Amino acid sequence: MLGHIQLVGHTQYLAHLAEQTEERRKIDELITSGKEEGMKIDYIDGKGRGVIATKHFNRGEFVVEYHGDLIEITDAKKREALYAQDPSTGCYMYYFQYLSKTYCVDATKETNRLGRLINHSKCGNCQTKLHDIDGVPHLILIASRDIKAGEELLYDYGDRSKASIEAHPWLKH
């Protein structure tokens, strides 16, 4: 009987691995194709543009890639200084660690990609996660809880610096 239990457990484990591999393949495909589904841009009072879910997202489900130029920290700091010279440009830079190096996704350039337009909330319904494709890190947003169609997509930008909060008081919320 013990052998049967081990075999059932092993079979369930293999099924779980196959499911994870299939989910990963789907995410890889969505990222590489640039396909973004289940969202639309809308005007949000007091915020400007934002992104609204047009379908239900389950907790843990891939929502969208935070797409932009993947650059190293030295180039990122140069760009950030350049953007600071013209506040109307805005700054959509996300810094992260990957394999002991600091990188940045710079999504400042206006594109038709939606991830860059997801607004901030300390109580967001999305969270960032790194997703590796062939050794290249991609920053993705996944649902941190079930999200209903019609809800604004939000995530915590994580910036708590005094200078940032003075410049952008909405980071407190």
Domain membership flag for residue 12: no
Domain membership flag for residue 142: yes
Task: Name the residue range of residue 118's domain.
Answer: 37-67+111-172
Domain membership flag for residue 19: no
Domain membership flag for residue 127: yes
Provide the strand spans (E) within the chain.
39-44, 48-53, 62-65, 69-72, 93-98, 101-106, 119-120, 126-133, 136-143, 154-155
Q: What pLDDT, on the 0 to 100 scale, is given for residue 4?
A: 45
Alpha-carbon distance of 173 to 168, in angstroms, equals 10
Is this structure's pTM higher than 0.85? no
Q: Are strands 154-155 and 119-120 parallel, antiparallel or unpaired?
A: parallel
Q: Strand, helix or coil at 169?
A: helix
Domain membership flag for residue 143: yes
Domain membership flag for residue 53: yes
What is the tens place of the pLDDT at every residue in 91-141? 788 999 999 999 999 999 999 999 999 998 889 999 999 999 999 999 999
Domain membership flag for residue 159: yes
Q: What pLDDT, on the 0 to 100 scale, is given for residue 10?
A: 53
Q: What pLDDT, on the 0 to 100 scale, is given for residue 33?
A: 94
**CATH code: domain of residue 151:** 2.170.270.10
* Domain total in the chain: 1
Backbone angles phi and psi of 48, in degrees to 5: 95, -140
Mean pLDDT value across residues 137-152: 97
Domain membership flag for residue 130: yes
What is the tens place of the pLDDT at every residue in 8-57? 555 565 554 566 688 899 999 999 999 999 999 999 888 889 999 999 99
User: What would the two tokens of residue 173 be?
Assistant: 């919320």
